[in-house]
Protein backbone atom coordinates (compact mmCIF):
# COMPACT_ATOMS: atom_id res chain seq x y z
CA UNK A 1 0.00 0.00 0.00
CA UNK A 2 1.29 3.47 -0.81
CA UNK A 3 1.30 6.11 1.95
CA UNK A 4 -1.41 8.80 2.20
CA UNK A 5 0.92 11.19 0.33
CA UNK A 6 0.66 9.13 -2.87
CA UNK A 7 -3.11 8.79 -2.62
CA UNK A 8 -3.50 12.50 -1.78
CA UNK A 9 -1.51 13.51 -4.88
CA UNK A 10 -3.69 11.23 -7.01
CA UNK A 11 -6.79 12.90 -5.54
CA UNK A 12 -5.42 16.39 -6.24
CA UNK A 13 -4.47 15.42 -9.79
CA UNK A 14 -7.96 14.09 -10.51
CA UNK A 15 -9.54 17.12 -8.82
CA UNK A 16 -7.83 19.28 -11.45
CA UNK A 17 -9.73 17.34 -14.13
CA UNK A 18 -13.21 17.95 -12.61
CA UNK A 19 -12.40 21.20 -10.83
CA UNK A 20 -15.39 22.54 -8.87
CA UNK A 21 -17.54 19.45 -9.33
CA UNK A 22 -18.14 18.88 -5.62
CA UNK A 23 -17.54 22.29 -4.00
CA UNK A 24 -17.37 25.85 -5.25
CA UNK A 25 -14.30 26.73 -3.19
CA UNK A 26 -11.20 25.22 -4.76
CA UNK A 27 -9.57 24.13 -1.52
CA UNK A 28 -12.82 22.54 -0.27
CA UNK A 29 -13.01 20.64 -3.56
CA UNK A 30 -9.35 19.57 -3.35
CA UNK A 31 -9.66 18.53 0.30
CA UNK A 32 -12.73 16.43 -0.46
CA UNK A 33 -10.91 14.68 -3.34
CA UNK A 34 -7.90 14.00 -1.07
CA UNK A 35 -10.23 12.48 1.53
CA UNK A 36 -11.95 10.33 -1.11
CA UNK A 37 -8.61 9.16 -2.50
CA UNK A 38 -7.54 8.01 0.97
CA UNK A 39 -10.92 6.68 2.13
CA UNK A 40 -10.34 2.93 1.49
CA UNK A 41 -7.57 3.00 4.14
CA UNK A 42 -10.25 3.85 6.71
CA UNK A 43 -10.42 0.05 7.02
CA UNK A 44 -7.47 0.38 9.43
CA UNK A 45 -9.78 2.05 11.98
CA UNK A 46 -11.80 -0.94 13.28
CA UNK A 47 -8.60 -2.97 13.60
CA UNK A 48 -6.89 -0.09 15.42
CA UNK A 49 -9.77 0.01 17.91
CA UNK A 50 -9.31 -3.73 18.50
CA UNK A 51 -5.53 -3.39 18.90
CA UNK A 52 -4.67 -5.10 15.58
CA UNK A 53 -4.54 -2.43 12.84
CA UNK A 54 -4.12 -4.89 9.96
CA UNK A 55 -7.13 -7.02 10.94
CA UNK A 56 -9.54 -5.62 8.31
CA UNK A 57 -7.03 -3.84 6.05
CA UNK A 58 -7.23 -4.78 2.35
CA UNK A 59 -10.65 -6.33 2.94
CA UNK A 60 -13.80 -5.62 0.95
CA UNK A 61 -13.46 -1.85 1.47
CA UNK A 62 -10.56 -2.12 -1.01
CA UNK A 63 -12.77 -3.28 -3.88
CA UNK A 64 -14.45 -1.79 -6.94
CA UNK A 65 -17.82 -2.86 -5.50
CA UNK A 66 -17.27 -0.79 -2.35
CA UNK A 67 -15.93 2.11 -4.45
CA UNK A 68 -19.10 2.07 -6.54
CA UNK A 69 -21.35 1.96 -3.46
CA UNK A 70 -19.47 4.82 -1.74
CA UNK A 71 -19.40 6.91 -4.94
CA UNK A 72 -23.17 6.56 -5.43
CA UNK A 73 -23.79 7.35 -1.77
CA UNK A 74 -21.53 10.43 -1.85
CA UNK A 75 -23.07 11.72 -5.10
CA UNK A 76 -26.58 11.11 -3.74
CA UNK A 77 -25.79 13.06 -0.56
CA UNK A 78 -24.36 15.94 -2.60
CA UNK A 79 -27.42 15.94 -4.82
CA UNK A 80 -29.68 16.16 -1.81
CA UNK A 81 -27.56 18.76 -0.04
CA UNK A 82 -28.96 22.25 -0.25
CA UNK A 83 -25.77 23.87 1.03
CA UNK A 84 -24.55 26.95 -0.76
CA UNK A 85 -21.01 25.57 -0.85
CA UNK A 86 -22.14 22.96 -3.40
CA UNK A 87 -22.20 24.09 -7.06
CA UNK A 88 -25.71 24.75 -8.37
CA UNK A 89 -25.02 22.60 -11.43
CA UNK A 90 -24.44 19.51 -9.27
CA UNK A 91 -25.45 16.45 -11.23
CA UNK A 92 -25.68 12.94 -9.85
CA UNK A 93 -23.92 10.87 -12.50
CA UNK A 94 -20.87 13.10 -13.18
CA UNK A 95 -20.28 13.35 -9.43
CA UNK A 96 -20.73 9.58 -8.98
CA UNK A 97 -18.36 8.86 -11.89
CA UNK A 98 -15.71 11.28 -10.57
CA UNK A 99 -15.98 9.90 -7.02
CA UNK A 100 -15.73 6.34 -8.35
CA UNK A 101 -12.59 7.14 -10.36
CA UNK A 102 -10.96 8.93 -7.42
CA UNK A 103 -11.70 5.96 -5.14
CA UNK A 104 -10.47 3.59 -7.86
CA UNK A 105 -7.20 5.53 -8.06
CA UNK A 106 -6.55 4.29 -4.52
CA UNK A 107 -7.11 0.69 -5.58
CA UNK A 108 -4.87 1.12 -8.63
CA UNK A 109 -1.97 2.51 -6.58
CA UNK A 110 -2.36 -0.22 -3.95
CA UNK A 111 -2.29 -2.90 -6.67
CA UNK A 112 1.04 -1.56 -7.90
CA UNK A 113 2.71 -1.56 -4.48
CA UNK A 114 4.85 -4.29 -2.92
CA UNK A 115 2.77 -6.14 -0.31
CA UNK A 116 4.41 -8.32 2.34
CA UNK A 117 1.33 -8.64 4.56
CA UNK A 118 -1.15 -11.44 3.76
CA UNK A 119 -3.64 -11.55 2.12
CA UNK A 120 -1.46 -10.09 -0.65
CA UNK A 121 -3.20 -7.59 -2.93
CA UNK A 122 -6.85 -6.52 -3.02
CA UNK A 123 -10.23 -8.26 -3.49
CA UNK A 124 -10.80 -5.97 -6.49
CA UNK A 125 -13.89 -7.68 -7.90
CA UNK A 126 -15.80 -8.10 -4.64
CA UNK A 127 -18.75 -8.91 -4.39
CA UNK A 128 -18.54 -10.78 -7.73
CA UNK A 129 -15.35 -12.58 -6.68
CA UNK A 130 -13.29 -12.78 -3.51
CA UNK A 131 -10.06 -13.34 -5.43
CA UNK A 132 -7.12 -11.09 -4.53
CA UNK A 133 -5.26 -9.17 -7.26
CA UNK A 134 -1.80 -7.59 -7.20
CA UNK A 135 0.48 -6.38 -10.00
CA UNK A 136 3.29 -8.76 -10.84
CA UNK A 137 5.64 -5.78 -11.37
CA UNK A 138 5.10 -3.31 -8.51
CA UNK A 139 6.06 0.35 -8.93
CA UNK A 140 5.70 1.52 -5.34
CA UNK A 141 7.50 0.29 -2.22
CA UNK A 142 5.69 -1.40 0.65
CA UNK A 143 4.96 0.54 3.83
CA UNK A 144 6.50 -1.09 6.87
CA UNK A 145 4.24 -0.86 9.92
CA UNK A 146 3.66 -2.52 13.25
CA UNK A 147 0.89 -5.08 13.63
CA UNK A 148 0.23 -3.68 17.11
CA UNK A 149 -1.97 -0.62 17.66
CA UNK A 150 0.33 0.62 20.45
CA UNK A 151 3.23 1.51 18.18
CA UNK A 152 1.43 1.52 14.81
CA UNK A 153 1.80 5.23 14.05
CA UNK A 154 5.35 5.58 15.37
CA UNK A 155 6.41 2.51 13.34
CA UNK A 156 5.43 4.32 10.12
CA UNK A 157 8.15 6.93 10.75
CA UNK A 158 11.02 4.95 9.23
CA UNK A 159 13.70 5.60 6.64
CA UNK A 160 12.22 2.90 4.40
CA UNK A 161 8.81 4.61 4.46
CA UNK A 162 10.43 7.98 3.75
CA UNK A 163 11.93 6.46 0.60
CA UNK A 164 8.49 5.05 -0.27
CA UNK A 165 6.91 8.49 0.20
CA UNK A 166 9.55 10.17 -1.99
CA UNK A 167 8.97 7.65 -4.76
CA UNK A 168 5.20 8.21 -4.55
CA UNK A 169 5.68 11.98 -4.57
CA UNK A 170 7.84 11.76 -7.70
CA UNK A 171 5.65 9.33 -9.66
CA UNK A 172 2.13 10.31 -8.61
CA UNK A 173 3.04 13.98 -8.18
CA UNK A 174 4.46 13.97 -11.72
CA UNK A 175 1.27 12.43 -13.08
CA UNK A 176 -0.86 14.95 -11.13
CA UNK A 177 1.23 17.81 -12.51
CA UNK A 178 0.67 16.53 -16.06
CA UNK A 179 -3.11 16.40 -15.42
CA UNK A 180 -3.03 20.00 -14.13
CA UNK A 181 -1.10 21.10 -17.23
CA UNK A 182 -3.57 19.30 -19.50
CA UNK A 183 -6.52 20.98 -17.76
CA UNK A 184 -4.88 24.42 -18.08
CA UNK A 185 -4.20 23.79 -21.80
CA UNK A 186 -7.82 22.69 -22.33
CA UNK A 187 -9.17 25.76 -20.51
CA UNK A 188 -7.08 28.07 -22.71
CA UNK A 189 -8.45 26.48 -25.88
CA UNK A 190 -12.06 26.79 -24.72
CA UNK A 191 -13.86 29.76 -26.34
CA UNK A 192 -14.89 32.56 -23.91
CA UNK A 193 -18.56 32.57 -22.78
CA UNK A 194 -20.88 34.69 -25.00
CA UNK A 195 -21.64 38.25 -23.94
ZN1 LIG B 1 -5.20 1.17 0.61
| CB burial of residue 78 (10 Å; 0-12, 13-18, 19+) | buried
Ligand 1: centre distance to CA 122 (Å): 9
In a domain, residue 139? The reply is yes
131: phi then psi, degrees, rounded to nearest 5: -65, 140
Q: Is the dihedral of CA 74, 184, 168, 25 positive or negative?
A: negative
In a domain, residue 194? The reply is no
Ligand 1: centre distance to CA 103 (Å): 10
H or E segment to which residue 72 belongs: helix 64-80
Partner residues linked to 122 by β-bridges: 133
Evaluate if residue 90 carries a pLDDT over 70.
Answer: no
In a domain, residue 177? The reply is yes
Closest CA to 12 of 187, 178, 185, 189: 178
Ligand 1: centre distance to CA 158 (Å): 19
Ligand 1: centre distance to CA 193 (Å): 41
Q: Are 109 and 9 in contact (CB under 8 A)?
A: no
pLDDT tens digits along 94-120: 899 999 999 999 999 999 999 988 889
Domain count, the chain: 1
Ligand 1: centre distance to CA 149 (Å): 17
What is d(CA 153, CA 93) in angstroms, rounded to the nearest whole number? 37
Ligand 1: centre distance to CA 21 (Å): 24
pLDDT tens digits along 1-45: 789 999 999 999 999 998 888 888 889 999 999 999 999 999 999
Ligand 1: centre distance to CA 110 (Å): 6
pLDDT for 194 equals: 66
pLDDT for 80 equals: 82
Q: Are 29 and 20 in contact (CB under 8 A)?
A: yes
In a domain, residue 195? The reply is no
Evaluate if residue 76 carries a pLDDT over 80.
Answer: yes
What is d(CA 177, CA 183) in angstroms, rounded to the nearest whole number? 10
pTM above 0.75, yes or no: yes
What is d(CA 64, CA 125) in angstroms, rounded to the nearest whole number? 6
Domain range spanning residue 159?
4-189
Ligand 1: centre distance to CA 39 (Å): 8
Mean pLDDT over 74-101 rounds to 79
Mean pLDDT over 90-97 rounds to 85
In a domain, residue 34? The reply is yes
Mean pLDDT across the chain: 91
| Between 126 and 87, residue with greater pLDDT | 126
In a domain, residue 182? The reply is yes
How crowded is residue 139: how many other Cβ atoms within 10 Å of its Cβ?
A: 15
What is d(CA 193, CA 38) in angstroms, rounded to the nearest whole number? 36
Mean pLDDT over 53-69 rounds to 96
Ligand 1: centre distance to CA 63 (Å): 10
Amino acid sequence: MPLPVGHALAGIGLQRVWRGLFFRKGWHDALFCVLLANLPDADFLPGLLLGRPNLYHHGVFHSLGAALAVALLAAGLFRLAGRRAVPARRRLWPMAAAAFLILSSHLLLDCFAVDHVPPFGLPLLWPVSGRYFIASRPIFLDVTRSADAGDFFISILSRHNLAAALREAALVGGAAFCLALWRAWRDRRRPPPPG
